[in-house]
A = this chain, B = another copy of it.
Amino acid sequence: MIAAMQTRKDSGIFTNRRRTVFGKARSDSGKKLGAVLISRPEDVAYLTGFTGEDSFLLIAGGKGWLLTDSRFTEQAQRECPGLEVFTRKGPMAEGVKEVSRQASLKTIAAQADHLTVNQNKALSKVLRRPLVPLNGLLTRLRGLKDRHEVAAIRRAIAIGEHALGTLIAKGRRAFVGRAERDVAAELEYLMRQGGAEKPAFETIVAAGPHGSMPHYRPGDTKIRPGDAVLIDWGAMVGGYAGDLTRVVFTGKISPQLFRIYDVVLKAQRAGIAALWPGKSCKSAHLAAKKVVEDAGYGDKFLHSLGHGLGRNVHEWPSLSWLSKDRLRAGMVVTAEPGIYLPDVGGVRIEDVVLVTPRGPKVLSAMSRSIKDMTLR
């Protein structure tokens, strides 16, 4: 079977990742850890290749246990040949207790940025000792993508671009007179046909004034001739997300929108140009923000320049005014400035950028020119 073959080929990657996590957790905590408990589903997937749910991972050096339940036993055995699959019959805490007893695991570190207050309490109780808080280790590791991950993100982007490209090639008839939600549905279907597992997030198709809400949900509003249509979409492929935004014009663009489109495009260029290893994430945001401010729209740029992209649509680092992080080679981030004018509409242009030792490398290929985005 395809799934099992893929896993066999890839299992070395997962083993290496688990060894790294265990080693770093030991050195970060300064304690003699017996094991590390991973509870966040995306982290479990990153470290195992497992695509199921409701499963925790215990790592102790080269050994690993996937604590799952009977719904996922067969799937876990196929997907994770290098792991012991433990099928729990009761609550997760009891499973952790059982495995740690069998393997004589004493001090266990756990994800304090994911484990709930109650889970922490239940685990501490059955293990009869507090868990060592593990803070942000996986977040930071996952923030630096290896070539397999960059390839997966590229595939996700390409499938997304092909889907919107197909719609745009159909021209106005694919937009004008149709409800926002119908355009979103067709775009998602095109991504699925292209090989996506699902949309990476709820597709935004916002016509005219709706574009002023950065996270608008597509509704029954029909797209009219002359509308600017903001589309924020992405495919989930092999567990990795794409995330782009384009504004499509169904007719002649108003001078006001033409102006802000130009400002946003220049802001994006300035933001992307600032994405060099060693520079601060904040400085990249400020580089884009300055362009918007200089044009007089500073208070209409309602969010940060962008965010890390990977298994989650929003992950570390944040390209925000609040960030204290520095950019590093291997980070994959979005660059998506926007200007939002209530009752008028909005423009956001979003692309995906790999930070490399030689500077920013844009992974998305779709045109950003008004001409190409104006439907025929």
* C-alpha gap A267/B115 in the complex (Å): 37
Most chain B CB neighbours (cut-off 10 Å) among A53, A202, A215, A322 = A215
- Closest Cβ of chain B: how far from A139's Cβ, in Å? 12
- Whether the Cβ atoms of A118 and B135 lie closer than 8 Å is yes
Name the one of B52, B69, B117, B214 contacting A71, with C-beta atoms under 8 angstroms: B214
- Closest Cβ of chain B: how far from A30's Cβ, in Å? 19
* C-alpha gap A195/B185 in the complex (Å): 9
Segment 39-61 of A: residues with Cβ below 8 Å from B: 51-53
- Whether the Cβ atoms of B182 and A188 lie closer than 8 Å is no
Given A193-B185, A199-B198, A212–B118 Cβ distance below 8 Å? no
Check A74 for interface membership: any CB of B closer than 8 A.
yes
Size of interface on A: residues with Cβ below 8 Å to B: 54
- Whether the Cβ atoms of A192 and B193 lie closer than 8 Å is no
Report chain B residues within 8 Å CB of A112: 116-118, 121
Question: Main SS of the interface on chain A?
Answer: loop
Most chain B CB neighbours (cut-off 10 Å) among A112, A118, A216 = A118
Name the one of B74, B117, B192 contacting A342, with C-beta atoms under 8 angstroms: B74
Report chain B residues within 8 Å CB of A193: 182, 185
Check A293 for interface membership: any CB of B closer than 8 A.
no
Check A213 for interface membership: any CB of B closer than 8 A.
yes
Check A72 for interface membership: any CB of B closer than 8 A.
yes
Report chain B residues within 8 Å CB of A322: 90-91
Check A15 for interface membership: any CB of B closer than 8 A.
no
* C-alpha gap A215/B73 in the complex (Å): 10
Q: CB-CB contacts of A205-228 with B at 8 A, as 1s and 0s?
A: 000000011111101110000000
Q: CB-CB contacts of A1-33 with B at 8 A, as 1s and 0s?
A: 111000000000000000000000000000000
- Whether the Cβ atoms of A75 and B199 lie closer than 8 Å is no
Report chain B residues within 8 Å CB of A189: 185-186, 188-189, 192
* C-alpha gap A181/B192 in the complex (Å): 8
Segment 259-293 of A: residues with Cβ below 8 Å from B: none
* C-alpha gap A199/B188 in the complex (Å): 11
Given A90-B322, A198-B202, A220-B2, A75–B213 Cβ distance below 8 Å? yes
Check A34 for interface membership: any CB of B closer than 8 A.
no
Report chain B residues within 8 Å CB of A1: 221
Check A133 for interface membership: any CB of B closer than 8 A.
yes
* C-alpha gap A192/B116 in the complex (Å): 34
Most chain B CB neighbours (cut-off 10 Å) among A117, A186, A198, A214 = A117
* C-alpha gap A114/B116 in the complex (Å): 5
Segment 167-211 of A: residues with Cβ below 8 Å from B: 181-182, 184-186, 188-189, 192-193, 195, 197-199, 202
The interface of chain A, by Cβ under 8 A from chain B, is 1-3, 51-53, 69-75, 90-91, 112-118, 120-121, 133, 135, 181-182, 184-186, 188-189, 192-193, 195, 197-199, 202, 212-217, 219-221, 302-303, 322, 340, 342
